[in-house]
A and B are shown apart, each in its own frame.
Chain A
Amino acid sequence: MAKLTFKSEKCKGCGLCVDACPKQVLALDADTINQKGHHPVKAVKEEACIGCAFCATMCPDCIIKVER
C-alpha cells in the first residue's frame, strides 16, 4: 500500500487528481472547506492506492506527496 500526504490548505479543489486516479482512491471532501474556500481532496480508499502518482502528476498546485 502506498501513502498519500496532502497539503490541503493549498488545494483548490479542481478535481484533476480525482479524475486521474485509476483506482478511484480520491474524492473532494464536501464536508471540509479550506482557508481558500475550496473542498480539498482526500483519500477515500487509500488502501487501494498503488502509488502510481498519476494524481500528483496532474495536480497543478503540487500538493500531493506519494510514498510507497
Chain B
Amino acid sequence: MIVFDKPHALSDAPLHYCPGCTHGIVHRLVAEVMDELGIEGRAIGIAPVGCSVMAYDYFNCDMIEAAHGRAPAVATGVKRSDPNNIVFTYQGDGDLASIGMAETVHSAARNENITVIFINNAIYGMTGGQMAPTSLPGQVTQTSPYGRDVSLCGYPIKVCEMLSQLDGPEYLERVAVNNVKNVKNAKKAIKKAFENQVNGKGFSLVEVISSCPTNWGMTPAKALAWIDEKMIPYYPLGVYKDRSANQ
C-alpha cells in the first residue's frame, strides 16, 4: 500500500529552491489538496514575483505569472471571468504585504472568492536577503545590516491580524511548516481555504510561516528551530477569522 507519494497536481519539474527551503513543502500541500478535492482540472494558479516566481512550472494546473504584488488583482479577473474556476495565488511576504498590499487588502475586503497562500519567511529571498515587511525587529538582513531598527523602518506587518479587522474575508489562519505536526495542520488549513472557495464562501488566506535557511544564514534544521524560537512568538499560529465557524 502506498502511504506517501508525489501528488498528481505537482509536476515532475525539479524545484529550484535552496536545500531545506520549505516552499517545496507548501507547494506539495497545495497539490495534495488539489488532488483530494478533485479540482486540478479547473484550478488556475497565480504565481508571484519572488522566490516562487516559477511556481507556474511546478503545478500541473493552468498557471499565470503575475506582476509583483498583483496576483490578487489577476486572480480577481480570472475568478470573475468564470466563477467555476478554482483560483489561487501563491505569494511571498514582499509580494503580498509590501508592494501588493493594496491588492491584498481590497481583494479581502471584497471577499473575493479566491484562495491565497501567503508564505511569510521574513525576508526577500529571490533578490538575496533584503528586509521584508515581515522581518522581525532586530533581524539582520542585507538592507538592515545592523538589525531592523523599528525607529527607522517601522514594525513588521501582521497580515492575519490586520485583515481580521475587515468585515470582508471569510477565513484567515496562520500556520507553520517547521515540524510534522505543524505541516499536518498547515495542510488542514490549506484544504479548508480551497473548500471554502469550492463552496462559494469567499476570501480565504493561509499565512504559512516558512523558512529561508540561505538568507537567514542557518542550516535547514536550525532554520526550522528559529521558526519556533523567534517567528512563532511574534506571529502566533491560529485561526484569525472563520466566518462560518462563528455562525
Contacts and interface: CB of A to CB of B under 8 A. Distances in A.
* A and B are partners in one complex rather than unrelated chains: yes
A56 B3 CA distance: 10
B2 A14 contact: no
A38 interface: yes
A65 B19 contact: no
Contacts of A61: 14-15, 17, 24
B23 A53 contact: no
A12 to B, nearest CB: 4
Contacts of A56: 4
A8 to B, nearest CB: 12
A58 B25 contact: yes
Contact of A57 (B15, B180, B224): B180
Contacts of A10: 14
A12 B221 CA distance: 14
B42 interface: no
Interface size of B as a range: 20 to 34
B220 interface: yes
B221 A15 contact: yes
Interface in A4-31: 10, 12-16, 19-20
Contacts of A64: 4
A16 B28 contact: no
Nearest to B2: A67
Contacts of A58: 25, 179-180, 183
Interface of B: 1-6, 10, 14-15, 17-25, 28, 179-180, 183-184, 213, 219-221, 224
A67 B1 CA distance: 5
Contact of A60 (B3, B25, B180, B221): B25
Contacts of B184: 57
Contacts of B23: 60
- 10 A-B pairs with least C-beta separation: A60-B24, A14-B20, A12-B19, A53-B4, A66-B4, A14-B19, A56-B4, A66-B3, A14-B220, A65-B5
A37 to B, nearest CB: 10
Contacts of A53: 3-4
B15 A60 contact: yes
A2 B53 CA distance: 37
A2 B3 CA distance: 9
Given A16-B224, A54-B180, A57-B180, A62 B1 contact: no
- Which of B1, B17, B213, B220 has most chain A Cβ within 10 Å? B220
A20 B24 contact: no
Contact of B3 (A14, A59, A68): A68
Contacts of B5: 65-66
A52 B163 CA distance: 37
B59 to A, nearest CB: 12
- Which of B4, B17, B23, B24 has most chain A Cβ within 10 Å? B4
A62 B5 CA distance: 8
21 contacts: A2-B3, A13-B19, A15-B221, A16-B221, A16-B224, A19-B221, A20-B180, A53-B4, A57-B180, A57-B184, A58-B183, A59-B25, A60-B15, A61-B15, A62-B6, A62-B10, A64-B4, A65-B4, A66-B2, A67-B1, A67-B2
